[in-house]
Amino acid sequence: MTFELTTKEEERALKLHHDSLVIDCHSDIHLHVIRARGQGKTHVLEKEFYERWVKAGLNVVVLNTMAKFGPEVYPYRTSPVHNFLLMVDAINQELLESPEHFFLILKPEDIEVSRNSEKIGIMLGLEGAEAIEMNLGFLRCYHRLGLRIMNLTWHLRNQVADGVAEPSNSGLSNFGREVVAELNRLGIIIDVSHLSKNGVRDVLDLSKQPVIASHSNAVAICDHQRNLEDWQIKEIAEKGGIVGVAFLGRFVADKDPTIKNVLDHVDHIKKLAGSDCLAIGPDYTDFCQDMIISSRRVAGPGQPVNDLNIPYAEGLEDVTNLSNFTRGLISRNYKTKEVRGILGENFLRLFKGIYKDIC
């Protein structure tokens, strides 16, 4: 991807990228990890991801473990609770196998460790509330296992609220309201990506903590159900929350998505709410796209099902191209402080604020 940068600007962009704290707020690669381990493989993160993540300049990766994909449970098709525990165990086994490369993020100070070492921090997330069933005790147990960020829904309805693919657009259930309160008490970051519009409204009204939309773009730039309307972006920012821009093509542009379209989303969100509410949530699905496609077969009308290729914006096709994003910000005259904020400092600030409030 070509930007009109001078040699000095190119050098500045590359140095800034690798000197900055870089946090991927949403990755789905754990799906590949759990499947590979089920095939008898070990050291999957180390062998297949570590060098790529180092090249990308990443310090922290949020693995948003999904224990239920649509009406069918992956990868074991038993129960969401069973699946979540097995997935958490798989990630923990990976960390134990490669302690020189990875460690688990539990508190903001751990992110500082990742900034100042060659180790990459793994932050455990949960995408969808199915795995807590109707029992807050499960949620408390998951917190003890390391859960630090949680999407309330995926596309579909669960016991907490509707996802964006549900035509009823219902907000939080009574149990969902209890979940929000308990997430606040525990200090688990609430993630509203995938949540229905009325669900987002309820969370913004009820949450005493800032929230994140970890991998969502702006409807004003690309009219996709997974993107955020202007009022959502503004209110997330007003509560001190952040929006992680996604690189997945269908959230970026109607056709032929490029990094320039991604930057249009960044510009729009900055214009609405300032750069302090921005982060990155690429939504990379390395090596597990067939599982994603299978899930989309039941995710509602209008979901393509025949093409196993999930295109990302040109210039940001995979994580090793991540420095192109920083180059793009420089090309649009973003200041050093703004770039550092978007790459990771804004997320760290949010996490510190939430952690401080519960201590």
Residues 25, 60 contacting (CB under 8 angstroms): no
* pLDDT top residue among 28 and 270: 270
The total number of structural domains that make up the chain: 1
Separation between Cα atoms, residue 247 and residue 309, nearest integer Å: 14
Question: Domain holding 65: CATH number?
Answer: 3.20.20.140
Domain-embedded: residue 29:
yes
pLDDT tens for each residue of 93-108: 999 999 999 999 999 9
Domain-embedded: residue 66:
yes
The proportion of the chain whose per-residue pLDDT surpasses 90, expressed as a percent, equals 76
The residue assigned the tokens 């990890």 is 33
Domain-embedded: residue 167:
yes
Return the pLDDT at 297.
47
pLDDT tens for each residue of 208-236: 999 999 999 999 999 999 999 999 999 99
pLDDT tens for each residue of 271-318: 999 999 999 999 987 655 555 555 554 444 444 444 445 689 999 999
Residue 203 is part of which domain span? 7-358
- Give the distance, in angstroms, between the CA of residue 69 and the centroid of all CA atoms in the same chain: 16
Domain-embedded: residue 2:
no
Return the pLDDT at 99.
97
3-state secondary structure of 145: helix
Which CA distances in Å does 67 have to 74, 151, 195?
6, 12, 17
Domain-embedded: residue 329:
yes
Domain-embedded: residue 51:
yes
Separation between Cα atoms, residue 354 and residue 332, nearest integer Å: 32
The predicted model scores a pTM of 0.93
